[in-house]
Amino acid sequence: MCGRFTIIAPYEYVIYRFAIKRSAPKFEFRQSYNVAPGQKIMAVVSDGSQNRLGDLKWGLIPPWAKDPKIGYKLINARAESVADKPSFQKAFRKHRCLIIADSFYEWTHDNPKNKRPFRFKLKSGDLFAMAGLWEAWRSPEGGVTHSAAIITTDANALMAPIHNRMPVILRKEDEQKWIDPSVQQSEQLSLFLKPYASKEMEAYEVSRDVNSPRHDDAHLIDRI
């Protein structure tokens, strides 16, 4: 799964890296060393001609949901079932996004009473895009919440000793194809949903302070 990540790159670099033409109304850029479910996450969407940057609540709320709290159960979507599961089926065809990060955290599961957090990042140190889905949910009062989920896949060789799942990190050359609204065939989209190359990533143990979203500062990414 993917339950925490970081986005600490400067706003100007984000704009450059993802060729952003404009930002969504009321968009507020916020760096974070400990992005958690329920918080706003930075995402890139495309209308087919230009990329737009906006913030989405982490935890997808399907349009048909009665209670928005369902989003806390839908922070991730499994690559193997995303095309068929009612919660994600429509978004997979029509509402895909890039969720921007520069690292993510995962915990060991060999000892439930002594889970150790690890940080996973690209060796290059660059930003990357996780394959995401988004939806718009309208409340009975008429308010609209835009929310998102991160797609996960099988762990690569680097990740496997820690956890059996990892977020789908898109290759740079596939990012624009993923958010192209003209691409709607499940067979074509599923080709992007595979583990990222282990040789291009690195991991190291970090402070257990990351366990709590109340902690959000630079010491969380220090190697221990």
Domain count for the chain: 1
More confident residue, 26 or 195: 195
Q: Say whether pLDDT at 111 is over 80.
A: no
* Pair of tokens at residue 136: 């718009």
Strands 76-78 and 144-154: parallel
Does residue 63 lie in a domain region?
Answer: yes
Q: What is the pLDDT of residues 36-57, one digit of tens each?
A: 999 999 999 998 889 999 999 9
Give the integer Cα–Cα distance in Å for 167 and 9.
Answer: 19
Does residue 113 lie in a domain region?
Answer: yes
* Pair of tokens at residue 181: 């609204």
Nearest by Cα to 62 from 132, 167, 168, 133: 133
Does residue 220 lie in a domain region?
Answer: no
Q: What is the pLDDT of residues 161-206, one digit of tens each?
A: 999 999 999 999 999 999 999 887 888 899 999 999 999 999 999 9
pLDDT of 80 reads 96
Ordered alpha helix ranges (H), 88-163: 89-94
Does residue 219 lie in a domain region?
Answer: no
Does residue 218 lie in a domain region?
Answer: no
Phi-psi label, residue 115: left if phi above 0, alpha if psi -120 to 50, beta otherwise: beta
* Pair of tokens at residue 177: 């194809």
Cα-based angle 86, 91, 96 (whole degrees, multiple of 5): 150
Does residue 222 lie in a domain region?
Answer: no
Does residue 221 lie in a domain region?
Answer: no
DSSP 80: T
Range of the domain at 145: 4-211
Does residue 217 lie in a domain region?
Answer: no
pTM of the model: 0.95
The CATH number assigned to the domain holding 77 equals 3.90.1680.10
Q: Which residues are catalytic?
A: 2, 106
* Pair of tokens at residue 27: 């968009």
- For the chain, percent of residues with pLDDT exceeding 90: 85
